[in-house]
A = this chain, B = another copy of it.
């Protein structure tokens, strides 16, 4: 059986993380699937989905780490907006956000056991906003046996 749901996440300025455990668990519960897995897939190119610890000070470390890897103020060809045809008038200069997104990855799959997310003690499914603020959509698909 397959059940899916899309939910919307409003995000804040710059880089920020959003714990999705409750929302994903709710989709699993509604699906009535007991054994299987859930795919969490972001439908954007400047966000990521990660599974890690939701600890407020670590979240600041993540931001600093990503900005060291792909500095927002560096030179990027993608940011030469005048050289790109057919872009929207509000196109942002966000090459660094794309690079961060590729580094962290676009989706995660989490096992479902006895109707529950089989996460470890400190694991949280998180949407990582890398070019906020925006209204983001996350796709959540449960596949398995009732």
Q: A-side interface residues toward B, CB under 8 Å?
A: 2, 4, 35-37, 39, 41-45, 50-53, 55, 57-58, 60-62, 65, 69-70, 76-78, 80, 83-84, 95, 98-99, 101-111, 113, 118-120, 122-123, 137, 139, 141, 143-145
Q: Is the CB of A99 within 8 A of B35?
A: no
Smallest CB gap from A34: residue in B: B2
**Secondary structure of the A side of the interface?**
mixed
List the number of copies, as a whole number: 3
Question: Which residues of chain B have C-beta atoms less than 8 A from A107's C-beta?
Answer: 51, 108-110
Give complex CA distance A145, B141 in Å.
13
CB within 8 Å for A4 and B98 given contacts A80-B57, A118-B43, A122-B45: no
- Decide: A123 near B45, CB < 8 A? Known: A53-B98, A98-B53, A106-B52: yes
